[in-house]
Chains A and B, each alone.
Chain A
Amino acid sequence: MKTLFYLLMLVVRRDLILAMRRRADVLTTLIFFVMVVSLFPLGVGPETDMLRKMAPGVLWVAALLSSMLSLGRLFSADYLDGTLEQMLLVPQPLSMLVLGKIASHWMVSGLPLVLLTPVLGLQFDMSIAAIGMLMLTLLLGTPILSMVGAIGAALTLGLRGGGVLLSLLVLPLCIPVLIFGTGAVQAVVSGMNVSAHLSLMGALLVLALVFTPWVTAQALRISME
């Protein structure tokens, strides 16, 4: 148990150090997120009612797209320089290592989206309660995107045009998260109960946490053949 935890921490620390030293990669996806979201108020015009209504959807879709952009990086660098081969030979369950990689990937590509949300929400004239709920749903949802995306990233490893294929594979699987995520914010705005949406997202998160690391590990072994 202790060694498993040690492995998890080692992988998380390693990937965070690497991300810090390749800051440009991380920043580009964040700037992409900010840009896409900011384009809507400019394009739609200053009708606050409409903006307020579309805000959760726009932010969620932008989060979905920017997480697709960053997913390609999850395993590809390690695959190209041979580190992934060595990771498959780690004398510990590979799913634990995969979980560590997903966790650090989320910390640099999912968590910043959550933290940027209040600023972007202001552009849409969202209420404080709606922004709070949007942050909560993104906090629950972005880890799911990273985990489900990891399966796609592992399957498309080393393929030409893998990035597009990855989006085609993963985006449909993310639809439930999108629906419950935006649904919760709309429920808050219209004064309805949000617990159903949040419970379902929590259930999806737990489900993803249990299954995706293992499935990703299997997919990696297939991709390395």
Chain B
Amino acid sequence: MLEVSNLACSRGDHRLFSGLSFTLCPGQILQIQGANGSGKTSLLRTLCGFLVPDEGSICWRGEDIQKMAEDYYAQMIYLGHLNAIKDELSALENLRISAGLAGGHLTENEALAALRRMGLKGRERLPAKVLSQGQRRRVALARLLVNDAALWILDEPLTALDVGAVALIEALIDEHLQRQGMIVFTTHQPLKVAGMEILSLS
């Protein structure tokens, strides 16, 4: 369970939001809404522990995430604006290395299966630099398939994705919620998921 209470965050002198509170229970999904520059990404980065909040606290299963540090990172996965993909490595190598860094061990067959499910069949061994933007995003999203983290923090997961891929992400989100996972995400595109709660930053 993720509990955020009375959170305030600013960039430079500019106060982005303050007094923000919400609770995310297992099986829940929360969309952060707001105009450009309203602090959506800053909020997600604060939830990851990159930014230290000005005020307030973020607790994961009752403990402060700043104190938990590595124990918290083991239970969450973050997908940012940047795909975190190395151009020189193939899709397969990228996925296996990022799974390794996240503390798991991924066999080649498991990685191939995940990439194929993401619609990258036949592209697994190509260097990432020859992949299109959408395909690179798919490689990044494949990390969600090979990680058993309970909390997903997704910043604009749908950028550059086509209709088929968006449907696939909706299916992945449904599966994760079925498993009592939790998701916080931002998007400017419509996403059809049952039981979605919305938090507006303004």
A residues sitting closer than 8 Å to B (CB atoms) are 3, 6-7, 10-11, 14, 17-18, 21-22, 80-83, 85-93, 97, 221, 224-225
Contact = CB atoms under 8 A, between A and B. Distances in A.
Given A82-B81, A85-B82, A91-B73, 18 more contacts: A3-B103, A7-B101, A17-B89, A17-B93, A18-B88, A81-B83, A82-B84, A82-B85, A83-B85, A86-B84, A86-B98, A88-B50, A89-B49, A90-B102, A91-B71, A221-B50, A224-B50, A225-B50
Interface of B: 48-52, 70-71, 73-74, 76-78, 80-89, 93, 97-98, 100-103
Given A7-B101, A10-B100, A225-B52, A89 B88 contact: no
User: Which of B74, B76, B88 has the most chain A CB within a 10 Å cutoff?
Assistant: B88
* Interface majority SS (helix, strand, loop, mixed), chain B: loop
B156 to A, nearest CB: 13
Contacts of A225: 50-52
Contacts of B83: 81-82
A90 B101 contact: yes
A17 B90 CA distance: 11
Nearest to A13: B97
Nearest to A10: B100
A222 to B, nearest CB: 10
A221 B49 CA distance: 10
Contact of B101 (A10, A21, A221, A224): A10
Nearest to A86: B84
Nearest to B51: A225
A67 to B, nearest CB: 23
Contacts of A90: 70, 73, 101-103
B84 A83 contact: yes
Contacts of B86: 18, 81, 83
Nearest to A97: B101
Contacts of B101: 7, 10-11, 86-87, 90, 97
Given A14-B97, A91-B73, A85 B84 contact: yes
A224 B84 CA distance: 14
- The 4 A-B residue pairs whose C-beta atoms are closest, nearest first, are A82-B82, A91-B74, A82-B84, A21-B88
Contacts of A80: 82
Contacts of A6: 100
Nearest to B85: A81
Contact of A10 (B52, B81, B87, B97): B97
Nearest to A11: B101
A85 B85 CA distance: 11
Contacts of B50: 85, 88, 221, 224-225
Given A85-B50, A85-B78, A225-B50, A91 B102 contact: yes
Contacts of B85: 81-83
A89 B80 CA distance: 12
B48 A89 contact: yes
